Amino acid sequence: MSEPKTPTPVPAGDTYKGWVFKWTNYIKGYQRRWFVLSNGLLSYYRTQAEMGHTCRGTINLATATITVDDACNFVISNGGAQTYHLKASCEVERQRWITALELAKAKAARMQAESDDSGDDFSPSSPPQAPGQGGGSQNTEVQSALRTLGSKVEDLSTCNDLISKHGSALQRSLSELDSLRLTGEAGDKIRQVTERATLFRITSNAMINACRDFLALAQAHSKRWQKALQAERDQRVRLEETLEQLAKQHNHLERAFRGAAQANATADNKSSAGPGKGEASDEDDDNEFFDAMEEAPEFITVPADPQFHKRSSSNVSGFNSEMCPDDQSLNEEPLAMNQESPSQELVPLKKRRTRIADKPNYSLNLWSIMKNCIGKELSKIPMPVNFNEPISMLQRLSEDLEYHELLDKASKCQSSLEQMCYVAAFSVSSYSTTVHRTGKPFNPLLGETYELDRRRESGYRSLCEQVSHHPPAAAHHAISDRGWTLRQEITVASKFRGKYLSIMPLGTIHAIFEKGNNHYTWKKVTTTVHNIIVGKLWIDQSGEIDVVNHTTGDRCHLKFAPYSYFSRDVARKVTGVVMDKDGKAHYVLSGTWDEKMEFSRVMQSSRGGENGTEGKQKTVYQTLKAREVWRRNPLPEGAESMYYFTDLALTLNEPEEGVAPTDSRRRPDQRLMEDGRWDEANSEKQRLEEKQRIARREREREAASQRTSSQSEDTVDEDSLTDPSLKSAPHENYQALWFERCEDRITGEQVHIYKGGYWEAKDRGSFEGCPDIF
């Protein structure tokens, strides 16, 4: 019989790979799949190219059963949860897999049984070794060698059992051959005996290989054991000497402490010395606090430098060292955000609040409010503050900057494709704050503004203004000292569908970087609030985003998968591919919009031939190991009683001096709600709405006197009912104070762009021309 070309299986612990036919369903039957047996786990893929990123299934052999159906078929099951019906190309190939699987199962069972004892061999409580001492590492090496040799001995035992099993089968076949008369069955029996002899040879080869490995390891480690044992003896002597020295030092410190205590007791009447020492101590504490704040940007530095591998946590993981060689400069920027005014460095940063009043538990008949609102625009539904959260839509829009570090990192990138990865992750990060936030923000009044000045802490400052009331539109402009600008004008369209509420943000977001003059744009996806009437409210994001670099033509297509009860994918999944202007893929992004995003560099892409039987070929990307680019910050303690606000959201409505009279922080109904006075907040909300109606009517009269033919069918307020007496003025009748309407040169849309003047007015302390809206 010819020698099979398939490699002979080796003892458990080594990887065994090959093509096996797997039963899929009654329509497609058996399909060829690439199986990999490694470390007691049997995994399969549609193609070999999928091994780097997409595993189709894995079964643990430690608890699995392996049964043989016929000459080529065999079944692997772990008790019902997973069952693989497999078929080899021939009986010899099937037996090779059975041998490898049984060896792997035996070893996996042993490892599982010994897992409880592994802590004794590698005690985590052992003291760390000094840099010059190698006893701990040598002890670990000895233990590892002993465990490996023990495993090889068990492999030999398993192989011996298999040899006995196959030898018995061979003996039975030979006995049957001897008892046969020369009939037509003789040829079949002879072939069977020949195949069984081949199987016996395969198992014997496996045992021989195991014996060879055992001997090689024993010879390689014999001298190391002697050295390791001697090192252990030396280490024990050094530890005994160190313990004796520590005991002497302890006695010395006790005597010194008693002497110092007596000296302090005699100096208690010297009051001047005490406060001086106390002030010095407080000053040291402050210095330590601000040093920790200054080290925070190390969390976004290049990980290729060994010093950055010691960080304990990170919001953003850097790419490789070739990506952003200038990222190290980010560590120094918080030390002096405004280098033109070095004196500002000496001023301590403002301490922001970390709590607000707990949310009151007020009951409300939701159906009595909602039953007459089905199919209406959300802006036409009268809503009490019970459904709100104590921030405005302008403040919610400013929350997009929570992960501004992504843009800081992007501004330092040399490659536009790698910069695109950061921008795409930033576009996803803005949704992480919505996973538990089921409250509705206050719709801003026309002319309402909100500033977020974090220039000294984070290098940026932001301004929002409500530039239109129907449709409600807010303009936003943020600029950073670290070389980026973010601007957007968002109009929210919403529909109440009875069971759920759909919120469709309309408008384009722009990110412009000074370095390279790269200009990115993207839009937001649809937000859906489920279980409006019955059940627990929950939020989902769905749709697609195209992040486009208009300077280079690079593009990133992101897909937000909607939640599905029948889907096997992880919930809130986001995937994307970064491509250049020619359509070549360079990076693959994956993760969830509520937790983290990872990236993988594409090394090669191809069409998956194995998927051709399904009528559609999918692109297969061969990628490097995935690395984290963004992770959501944990919520503060007690967030569930504070509207699930993040650390940034808790500070958005914190009162500040010097803001404009139209700033959202000065809105009285919103402030009353935050303080837990909801009844007063509802009354104040009605007063503000009526005041805005009066202002709207006044603008209409002025417009009518100038253009009598101008009429429009707008509503007045987010919470007003259809009032025929309230006709909104044309869009041109109201002019925003800090933004001007013009055509965007990139998208061609009519948008509001910041025209300047706000921060200068704040520096002067004079906001002339601001309307009285509160």
Across-strand partners of 596? 592, 631
Q: Do residue 101 and residue 158 come from a single domain?
A: no
Q: What is the pTM of this model?
A: 0.55
Identify the helix (H) or strand (E) that includes residue 76.
strand 73-77
Domain membership of residue 202 (yes or no) is: yes
**What does the pLDDT look like over 523-541, one tens digit per residue?**
999 999 888 777 788 899 9
The model's pLDDT over 636-675, given as tens digits with 9 standing for 90+, comes to 999 999 999 999 999 999 999 999 999 999 999 999 999 9
Give the domain-ending residue among 666, 690, 714: 690
Mind listing the pLDDT tens digit for each residue in 396-428? Answer: 999 999 999 999 999 999 999 999 999 999 999
Q: What is the pLDDT of residue 716?
A: 42
Percent of the chain's residues with pLDDT above 70:
73
Q: Are residues 554 and 443 in the same domain?
A: yes
Same domain (yes/no): 377, 522: yes
In-domain check, residue 643? yes
- 80: in domain: yes
The residue among 690, 721, 743 that closes a domain is: 690
Whether residues 195 and 52 share a domain: the answer is no
CATH number at residue 81: 2.30.29.30
pLDDT for residue 616: 57
Range(s) of the domain holding residue 49: 15-112
The secondary structure of residue 199, as a DSSP letter, is H
Q: Assess contact for 508 and 522: CB atoms under 8 A.
A: yes
Q: Are residues 642 and 524 in the same domain?
A: yes
530 and 678 co-located in one domain: yes
Contact status, residue 105 vs residue 95, Cβ threshold 8 Å: no
Q: Which residues contact 291 (CB under 8 A, 6 or more apart)?
A: none
Residue with tokens 């955000």: 337
Q: Do 65 and 154 fall into the same domain?
A: no
- Give the pLDDT confidence of 207-263 residue by residue, as tens digits: 777 777 777 777 677 667 777 778 888 888 888 788 777 877 777 787 777 777 666
| Interval 382-398 mean pLDDT | 87
Q: What is the mean pLDDT of residues 591-596?
A: 93
Domain membership flag for residue 20:
yes
In whole angstroms, what is the distance from residue 549 CA to residue 562 CA?
26
Better pLDDT: 380 or 244 = 244
**pLDDT per residue over 138-161, tens digit each?**
556 666 766 777 777 777 777 777
Mean per-residue pLDDT of the chain: 76
pLDDT tops 60 at residue 615: no
Q: Among 93, 112, 131, give the residue marking a domain's end.
A: 112
pLDDT at 13: 45
Burial letters for 531-569: b for 16+ Cβ neighbours within 10 Å, e otherwise?
Answer: ebeeeeeebbbebebebbbeebebbbbbebbebeeeeee
341 lies in a domain?
no
Task: Name the residue among 682, 686, 675, 690 with its Cα closest to residue 385.
Answer: 682
Give per-residue pLDDT as tens, 11-49: 444 678 899 999 988 888 899 999 998 888 888 998 888
Which carries the bigger pLDDT value, residue 463 or residue 436?
A: 463
pLDDT at position 121 over 60: no
Residues whose CB falls within 8 Å of the CB of residue 434, separated by 6 or more in sequence, listed in order: 527, 539, 541
Q: Whole-angstrom Cα distance, residue 416 to residue 38?
A: 39
- Indicate whether 84 and 217 sit together in one domain: no
Q: What is the pLDDT of residue 531?
A: 82
Q: 447 with 592, same domain?
A: yes
The total of structural domains in the chain comes to 3
